[in-house]
Amino acid sequence: MKRSLKKTMIAAASAIAAITAAGGAVAFCGFYVAKADTKLFNKASKVAIMRDGERTVITMSNDYQGKLKEFALVVPVPVVLEEGQIHVTDNAIIDHLDAYTSPRLVEYFDEDPCEQRVYEMAAKAAPSAAGAAMDRRRGDDAFGVTVEAEYTVGEYDIQILSAKESGGLAGWLKQNGYKLPDGAESTLGSYIKQGTKFFVAKINLEEQAKTGLHYLRPLQIAFESPKFMLPIRLGTVNADGKQELFVFALTRNGRVETTNYRTVKLPTGMNVPTYVKDEFGDFYKSMFAEQVQRESENAVFLEYAWDMNWCDPCAADPMSSDELRELGVYWTDGGDSIKPMPRRPIPSGGSQDVFVTRLHVSYDAAHFPEDLMFKTTGERENFQGRYVLRHPYKGDAKCEAATEYRAGLPKRYEQEAQTLATLTGWDIDDIRVKMKEDGQSFPPPKKDKWWENLWGKSNKSNSRG
């Protein structure tokens, strides 16, 4: 039965539901099972990168909570950007991409063991939660630094700087009120020697007021560069603890991975106790932290890799062509969004031709001394972080198979408990207690008396062997 469960997949829409099930069974429904708090991770950034050849579009999203006046961003960029290469977009798009790619919880319901069928049911995922606490520095006026260009784009005042030496740049930034942490100077120096320019953004309060928004919208930059990387070093300089980074890479070819750090797949496909449904957010967070430790804190985690024409099960609707185009996918036609067929596998080569990779990094200077260097591979194998709830059959069932089924449940529960403990590092006894409260108790409901096995039983057969 386990086999057939595994093989069958479900698709669930937020509104509609279309489902395939094994063994000719009819399946049904689709609803939200778990929704993790979007504020799961503090000090997190979400960055979408479109990469095709040397063409690059980076979308930087942040959940900056402080005073707008004090917001400042310093991003090393490979070239001086023209005004048209800078853009401000909407949070909703990144949030959608986040939801579409987030680890998901899937729910299965065991059938009446007396009838050899299996129903299944889909579920919904936990959006990651992130937003940037990027480099917060603020500025004022010139020093020994060339301001290559100045623009106001949306609510941002942007300057592109180039500098000859780090002392000058650091001085300029300090003079301009940027709080440069100790150690930033040498990092700046390294970037300068590599010919890097600096993209500096502050909030234009007047323009910001016009937007009527209480949050900052994601900044986007488009450029061409042979370097496929994401600068994280400046962010680690003022490190008070680790920072979380979600990278959503959009390519034509396939999965993106890091070349200077190991890219590790998040554990997936495990059966976990049903109570996890109510604490999926905690589960995901603990599991991630545990995996980070297990990989010596220096691995990049793959959470999702998928052809964007479909998903199964879907944590959110696939992105429309318009949304993808906004994120830099210039080869989709945009215009009328060809709503992709979401719920079922479409052979590759579909209409979008976009492959998404979601990477999750928890980084600090000690474990990630170098910027993240990426590489697009031809790998098109789909991968998703997916966790399975199996609800036991609770109805009346009186047959030999049912007895066997029930006898097998405690073992299954124990396995689920151990899986959960291993994944998250949670205390196994706590897990057992919670499982019991949720109706997944361990001791077999009714234990056979030992002598019953000696001479057989009068009214009940036991086929355990």
Partner 1 sequence: MALGSLLIFGIAGRAFSIEGVDIAAIFATALATQWALSAIFAVRFEAKSALITVLSLTLLLRANTAYPLMAAAFIAISSKFLLRANGKHIFNPANIGIVAVTLFSGAAWTTPGQWGTAIWLAAIIAGAGFFVTYRVSRLDTPLIFLGTFATLIVARALWLGDPLSIPMLRLQNGALILFAFFMISDPKTTPDGLAARALFAAATALLSYVFIYHFYRADGIFYALALACIARPLIERFDSARAYRWSDPPRLNPIKKPAAAPAE
Least distance to partner 1 from the beta carbon of 253, Å? Answer: 7
Burial class of residue 272, CB neighbours in 10 A (0-12, 13-18, 19+): buried
- The site that binds partner 1 (CB under 8 A) totals a number of residues, namely 31
Measured on CA atoms in the order 454, 456, 462, 465, is the torsion positive or negative? positive
Least distance to partner 1 from the beta carbon of 258, Å? Answer: 5
Task: Indicate which single residue of 370, 400, 430, 448 sits in contact with partner 1 (rule: CB under 8 A).
Answer: 370
393 in helix, strand or coil? coil
The residue among 159 and 357 lying less far from partner 1, judged by its C-beta, is: 357
The residue among 80 and 264 lying less far from partner 1, judged by its C-beta, is: 264
Footprint of partner 1 on residues 177-206 (CB under 8 A)? 186, 189-190, 193-194
Task: Based on the shown chain and the rule CB under 8 A, indicate whether residue 373 belongs to the binding site for partner 1.
Answer: yes
CB-side neighbour CA atoms (13 Å) of 267: 21
**Residue 105, both tokens:** 């919880």
Which of these, 14, 258, 38, lies nearest to 128 by C-alpha position?
38
Task: Based on the shown chain and the rule CB under 8 A, indicate whether residue 290 belongs to the binding site for partner 1.
Answer: no
Task: Based on the shown chain and the rule CB under 8 A, indicate whether residue 296 belongs to the binding site for partner 1.
Answer: yes
Task: Indicate which single residue of 102, 251, 263, 384 sits in contact with partner 1 (rule: CB under 8 A).
Answer: 263
Residue 46, C-beta contacts closer than 8 angstroms, at least 6 positions apart = 60, 61, 62, 94, 98, 128, 130, 131, 132, 246, 248
Least distance to partner 1 from the beta carbon of 79, Å? Answer: 14
Task: Based on the shown chain and the rule CB under 8 A, indicate whether residue 429 belongs to the binding site for partner 1.
Answer: no
Measured on CA atoms in the order 263, 5, 413, 408, is the torsion positive or negative? negative
The residue among 260 and 462 lying less far from partner 1, judged by its C-beta, is: 260
360 in helix, strand or coil? strand
Task: Based on the shown chain and the rule CB under 8 A, indicate whether residue 379 belongs to the binding site for partner 1.
Answer: yes
Q: In what order do the strands lie in the sheet with 197-203?
A: 72-77, 197-203, 156-162, 146-153
Task: Based on the shown chain and the rule CB under 8 A, indicate whether residue 52 belongs to the binding site for partner 1.
Answer: no
Measured on CA atoms in the order 95, 296, 284, 382, is the torsion positive or negative? positive
The number of beta carbons lying within 10 Å of the beta carbon of residue 359 is: 27
The number of beta carbons lying within 10 Å of the beta carbon of residue 406 is: 16
Least distance to partner 1 from the beta carbon of 41, Å? Answer: 23
Least distance to partner 1 from the beta carbon of 308, Å? Answer: 17
User: In angstroms, what CA-CA distances link 201 with 63, 151, 352?
Assistant: 15, 10, 33
Task: Indicate which single residue of 182, 240, 336, 381 sits in contact with partner 1 (rule: CB under 8 A).
Answer: 381
Stretch that binds partner 1, among 129-137, 167-175, 292-300, 420-428 (CB under 8 A): 292-300
Task: Based on the shown chain and the rule CB under 8 A, indicate whether residue 166 belongs to the binding site for partner 1.
Answer: yes
Task: Based on the shown chain and the rule CB under 8 A, indicate whether residue 457 belongs to the binding site for partner 1.
Answer: no
Q: Which residues bind partner 1 (CB under 8 A)?
A: 166, 186, 189-190, 193-194, 226-228, 253-254, 257-263, 265, 295-296, 299, 369-370, 373, 375, 377-381
